[in-house]
Chain A
Amino acid sequence: AQKVTQAQTEISVVEKEDVTLDCVYETRDTTYYLFWYKQPPSGELVFLIRRNSFDEQNEISGRYSWNFQKSTSSFNFTITASQVVDSAVYFCALMPVGGTSYGKLTFGQGTILTVHP
């Protein structure tokens, strides 16, 4: 079984501040994918990034960056120079590779990010 924990229930920042969303996970699978999805007020989850468990290289995409550390089972997400449009609920998720787990993601509880002008 897998477990994903997002300890921060809510984070509130002022525009232009940097913010890091934490995610830790538990799995017995040796190969897995980790994800971040964003859920704006409209409700649909929007895919942000997928990382493979054997690729610990950090990734940067514009103002977004992700830090994957297998040794601590963490996959943290940093938004640099936050903007009001970043306000949303952010979910970390895990999916084992192969087997019968296609599309069967285990999500964390989510972190509500509010960016104030």
Chain B
Amino acid sequence: GAGVSQSPRYKVAKRGQDVALRCDPISGHVSLFWYQQALGQGPEFLTYFQNEAQLDKSGLPSDRFFAERPEGSVSTLKIQRTQQEDSAVYLCASSSDPALGVLTFGAGSRLTVL
């Protein structure tokens, strides 16, 4: 597609529920990233895929967070047993050349955990 598409744009979950956030990157971009942006803060790196391989997951805050990209295109970020501190905007980005640091971001999925 022309840009990075994320869904849902807004998600409200009760504490303890599982959620899944979807990212559809720019067609042909082999690199895909997930970032977490808390209210009033800058984005923080979560994880990085090159094609279907997850090369870096050092930013995932706990083992409740899991990301996958099974066919090297669409990616899903899953959060199990959500907690209130998981409330944030989850940004997906893709890149044709991540070594240059120029990322194309989606509009994000805003998660609110009650």
A contact set with B: CB distance below 8 Å = 4, 33, 35, 37, 42-47, 50, 91, 93, 95, 97-98, 100, 102-110
Contact = CB atoms under 8 A, between A and B. Distances in A.
A110 B41 contact: yes
A42 B101 contact: no
Contacts, number: 70
A10 B105 CA distance: 23
Contact of B42 (A50, A93, A104): A93
A95 B95 CA distance: 14
Given A43-B108, A45-B105, A47-B102, A104 B56 contact: yes
A2 to B, nearest CB: 11
A91 B31 CA distance: 22
Contacts of B3: 44
Interface residues of B, number: 29
B101 A50 contact: yes
Contact of A107 (B44, B95, B104): B44
A42 B48 contact: no
